[in-house]
Homo-oligomer: A and B are copies of this chain.
Amino acid sequence: MFPRSTSPLAPRLALAALAFGLLPAAASARPADGTLTLMPIPQSMTVRDGRFRVDEDLSIAPAEALVPKGAGNVMSGAAPRAVKAARRFMSRLSGRTGLFFKQDYLASRGPSGEARIRYAYGRPGAVKPDEDESYTLTVDPAGIALTAVTDIGVLRGFETLLQLLSADERGYYFPCVAISDRPRFTWRGLLIDVGRHFHPVEVIKRNLDAMAAVKMNVLHWHLTEDQGFRVESKVFPKLHELGSDGMFYTQDQVRDVIAYADDRGIRVMPEFDLPGHATSWFVAYPEFSSAPGSYSIERKFGVFAPAFNPADERVYAFLDAFLKEMAGLFPDPYIHIGGDEVEGHQWDASPEILAFKKKRGLADNAALQAYFNTRLLKILTKYRKTMVGWDEIFQPALPKDVVIHSWRGPQALVEAARNGVRGILSNGYYIDLCQPAEAHYLNDPVPADSTLTDAQKALVLGGEATMWSELVTAETIDSRIWPRTAAIAERLWSPASVRNVDDMYRRLGQVSVELEELGLLHLKTPDMLLRRLAGGPEIEPLRVLAEAVEPLKGYKRHDQAAYTSLSPFTRFVDACAPESLPARAFGKMIDLYLADRDPLAGAEVRRALSAWKDNHALVLPFLAASPALREVEALSLGLARACGVGIEALDHLLKGESRPASWAKDQANVLAEAAKPAAHAELAVVKAITRLVEACAGGAAK
């Protein structure tokens, strides 16, 4: 048992430990007792007795003899993708265990019957939808066998095996298991918006690694926005030269990213948002917009007037040439054309466009956009690409082979499916809105109560987490994507029946640490920002405060300041996780206490309340030294007061005293005051403290 009660360092330990199983048997979140931490959970798994020991003699090799029968052409040697994945597997395993493996796993290529980890597959996989990603993984005390129909399945299996790593008194081991696994949905994506803020290649790459670790397979690269045109065009170089502030990807870099993703079995689907969200295009080509005048790169966020002119034939010639170039650059069979949020003012104000609508019998702007989309579809079809668009583009008259991407609600997918059209879900997966992982986790593309037929359900291809980047920079983006996106990844891979929220959170904390080995900054950035704000290395009280705080949810943060793409995203709010796992654990601990008045839980709650209450005095000197931090005083003071209320309520509960309604009302007022937004953020623990007060007022004697 961890000697928390004797340590002056205990409060933070206790808070963090709380997040991972409430009362852990050891300081580590890595279970030593055989509890597995797989995410996503496999389709089927049997755990057996026995342990495969991981030691310096560990070796890995492809093994043709293991190729499953009927799995296609027999592999001849191993394709580069599997060999490279095996090298990364060994490197990561060495990094986690600190073991000096004897095998030169970078050099060894050929099959070997003596390797202790052997892998095999039937044929190289194609990185496209509906490819077979299934695998079978068998761990025995003497050896490990990983087989799959395609090498992509092998990649997925390596990630599972890494997650199986366990430890006991003798050292590291893999538990003996038999796993048979395959994804529920074929489209498991992450959208990264590089338009509103640019994110360099290394950001994309480390997120591709993390996606692969949780078995996601589509990078949706949102490349153009009002605020920036982010891809080099050799046909129209003014697009990136004038529309990006110099922040764009060269075509070489794009090819590099695609190859990197392909190595990880991940598709790269580009989005060119049309006809709205297009201001940055018009910096170079104002003549293609629907209103005269020069344009500059948009700095603010929102829905803006500039839109392509659907009445101008030159626009289609331009887009044809541009999309032809991009169709050659991006091998994915899908291109996303956006289609969302056409503001309409430019169309309504243009005599040319009004006349065009009249002539064509286009009743409204939706019909005009439908016309535009039909023209785009023709272009994309010519270049053998399937069109994907946001749900605004859906209309029953469209051909059946488009894909509808739902952002406004799940109903769009239902309508599309009823019309025989495929769809993917992002509504409910907007990770930029700082909602808890739980909300995303329980959001199912095909809910249990779906009224669709099985054939219609099959048209729902999956979903995508969407990282819109108004409020994130390359410094902070990882901390907004991870670890919550891992919960979405599980929703899209694992059986629909996997819905235990507490167990998801138990695993999320450990997976989050494992994802760090891929270069993600999500766990590092908060401390960095706090150091920068403090102007020095010592930040402990700020850390303690940050654990009780979350950024404002939804779009509320935009009400707090006139954010632009040049604003600082280095404030305290940016150092706060979208969802504080310690705050969540604190709430669970209160519920545990309230459920049966467990004194141990009560003591833990009290310890947390006291630590946060006492923290305010420790925070104040930082505010004196750092003007940028002064805005957090209200949060820190509110936390101290709310915790004071909590302590008082807890004391009454511990004594079995009930309190009158007037008392509860007074306390509720204090808590309501503490719950107010400050510094673009809010306290994440007030609701839980409210439950303490309510229990106290509601006849707590027990």
- On whether the beta carbons of B535 and A516 are closer than 8 Å, the reply is no
A535 to chain B, nearest CB (A): 3
- On whether the beta carbons of B171 and A32 are closer than 8 Å, the reply is no
User: Is A381 an interface residue when CB atoms closer than 8 A count as contact?
Assistant: no
* Given A3-B618, A29-B536, A512-B537, A9-B568 contact (CB < 8 Å): no
User: Is A561 an interface residue when CB atoms closer than 8 A count as contact?
Assistant: yes
User: Is A101 an interface residue when CB atoms closer than 8 A count as contact?
Assistant: yes
Contacts of A537 in B (CB 8 A): 16, 19-20, 29, 509, 512-513, 523
Looking at A99, A527, A531, A567, which has the most chain B CB atoms within 10 Å of its CB? A531
Contacts of A510 in B (CB 8 A): 535-536
User: Is A606 an interface residue when CB atoms closer than 8 A count as contact?
Assistant: no
User: Is A8 an interface residue when CB atoms closer than 8 A count as contact?
Assistant: yes
Among B10, B107, B622, which residue has its beta carbon within 8 angstroms of that of A28? Answer: B622
User: Is A598 an interface residue when CB atoms closer than 8 A count as contact?
Assistant: no
Bound-state CA distance A105–B94 (Å) is 46
Contacts of A528 in B (CB 8 A): 516, 523-524
User: Is A624 an interface residue when CB atoms closer than 8 A count as contact?
Assistant: yes
* Given A16-B538, A536-B513, A627-B172, A621-B98 contact (CB < 8 Å): no
Chain B residue with Cβ nearest A528 = B516
Looking at A3, A11, A628, which has the most chain B CB atoms within 10 Å of its CB? A628
User: Is A2 an interface residue when CB atoms closer than 8 A count as contact?
Assistant: yes
- On whether the beta carbons of B566 and A7 are closer than 8 Å, the reply is no
User: Is A302 an interface residue when CB atoms closer than 8 A count as contact?
Assistant: no
User: Is A200 an interface residue when CB atoms closer than 8 A count as contact?
Assistant: yes
Contacts of A566 in B (CB 8 A): 91, 94, 101, 104-106
Residues A510-540 near B (CB distance < 8 A): 510, 512-513, 516-517, 519, 521, 523-524, 527-528, 531-538, 540
Contacts of A534 in B (CB 8 A): 27-30
User: Is A167 an interface residue when CB atoms closer than 8 A count as contact?
Assistant: yes
Residues A468-499 near B (CB distance < 8 A): 475
Contacts of A611 in B (CB 8 A): 8
Per-residue CB contact flags for chain A residues 1-32 toward chain B (1 = under 8 Å, else 0) read: 01100111111110011011000001111101
- On whether the beta carbons of B540 and A9 are closer than 8 Å, the reply is yes
Bound-state CA distance A570–B169 (Å) is 20
- On whether the beta carbons of A533 and B98 are closer than 8 Å, the reply is yes
Contacts of A252 in B (CB 8 A): 250, 252
Per-residue CB contact flags for chain A residues 533-572 toward chain B (1 = under 8 Å, else 0) read: 1111110110010000000000000000110101110110
- On whether the beta carbons of A571 and B98 are closer than 8 Å, the reply is yes
Contacts of A444 in B (CB 8 A): none
- On whether the beta carbons of B30 and A98 are closer than 8 Å, the reply is no
User: Is A625 an interface residue when CB atoms closer than 8 A count as contact?
Assistant: yes
Among B3, B167, B618, B626, which residue has its beta carbon within 8 angstroms of that of A7? Answer: B618
Contacts of A663 in B (CB 8 A): none
A578 to chain B, nearest CB (A): 16
User: Is A236 an interface residue when CB atoms closer than 8 A count as contact?
Assistant: no
* Given A7-B614, A9-B12, A167-B625, A98-B521 contact (CB < 8 Å): no
Contacts of A101 in B (CB 8 A): 566
A649 to chain B, nearest CB (A): 23
Bound-state CA distance A201–B256 (Å) is 13
User: Is A318 an interface residue when CB atoms closer than 8 A count as contact?
Assistant: no
A252 to chain B, nearest CB (A): 5
Per-residue CB contact flags for chain A residues 183-225 toward chain B (1 = under 8 Å, else 0) read: 0000000000000000011100000000000000000000000
Bound-state CA distance A532–B95 (Å) is 8
A285 to chain B, nearest CB (A): 18
* Given A2-B621, A95-B568, A296-B107, A536-B100 contact (CB < 8 Å): no
A570 to chain B, nearest CB (A): 4
Per-residue CB contact flags for chain A residues 31-55 toward chain B (1 = under 8 Å, else 0) read: 0100000000000000000000000
- On whether the beta carbons of B9 and A11 are closer than 8 Å, the reply is yes
Contacts of A95 in B (CB 8 A): 532, 568, 570
Bound-state CA distance A29–B538 (Å) is 8
User: Is A96 an interface residue when CB atoms closer than 8 A count as contact?
Assistant: yes
A513 to chain B, nearest CB (A): 5
- On whether the beta carbons of A11 and B12 are closer than 8 Å, the reply is no
Looking at A201, A538, A568, which has the most chain B CB atoms within 10 Å of its CB? A538
User: Is A673 an interface residue when CB atoms closer than 8 A count as contact?
Assistant: no
A207 to chain B, nearest CB (A): 14
Residues A633-678 near B (CB distance < 8 A): none
Contacts of A614 in B (CB 8 A): 6-8
Contacts of A568 in B (CB 8 A): 94-95, 97-100
Chain B residue with Cβ nearest A563 = B100
Chain B residue with Cβ nearest A510 = B536
Bound-state CA distance A456–B641 (Å) is 70
Looking at A13, A17, A533, A535, which has the most chain B CB atoms within 10 Å of its CB? A535
Contacts of A475 in B (CB 8 A): 519
User: Is A297 an interface residue when CB atoms closer than 8 A count as contact?
Assistant: yes
Chain B residue with Cβ nearest A173 = B627
- On whether the beta carbons of A13 and B297 are closer than 8 Å, the reply is no
Bound-state CA distance A509–B509 (Å) is 31
A75 to chain B, nearest CB (A): 21
User: Is A142 an interface residue when CB atoms closer than 8 A count as contact?
Assistant: no
Bound-state CA distance A20–B538 (Å) is 10
- On whether the beta carbons of B167 and A561 are closer than 8 Å, the reply is no
User: Is A299 an interface residue when CB atoms closer than 8 A count as contact?
Assistant: yes
Looking at A10, A98, A170, A533, which has the most chain B CB atoms within 10 Å of its CB? A98
User: Is A617 an interface residue when CB atoms closer than 8 A count as contact?
Assistant: yes
- On whether the beta carbons of A570 and B98 are closer than 8 Å, the reply is yes
Bound-state CA distance A19–B537 (Å) is 10
Bound-state CA distance A523–B561 (Å) is 31
Residues A329-376 near B (CB distance < 8 A): none
21 chain-A/chain-B pairs, Cβ below 8 angstroms: A8-B8, A8-B9, A9-B540, A9-B544, A17-B538, A19-B537, A26-B621, A27-B621, A28-B536, A29-B535, A30-B625, A95-B532, A96-B535, A98-B571, A98-B628, A99-B628, A106-B245, A107-B296, A167-B625, A510-B535, A523-B528
14 extra A-B contacts, CB within 8 A, seeds A9-B541, A29-B534, A524-B524: A20-B537, A26-B625, A27-B536, A28-B538, A30-B536, A94-B567, A96-B570, A97-B628, A105-B566, A107-B245, A167-B535, A475-B519, A513-B536, A521-B524
Lowest 5 CB-CB distances: which A-B pairs, in order? A29-B536, A30-B535, A28-B625, A98-B628, A524-B524
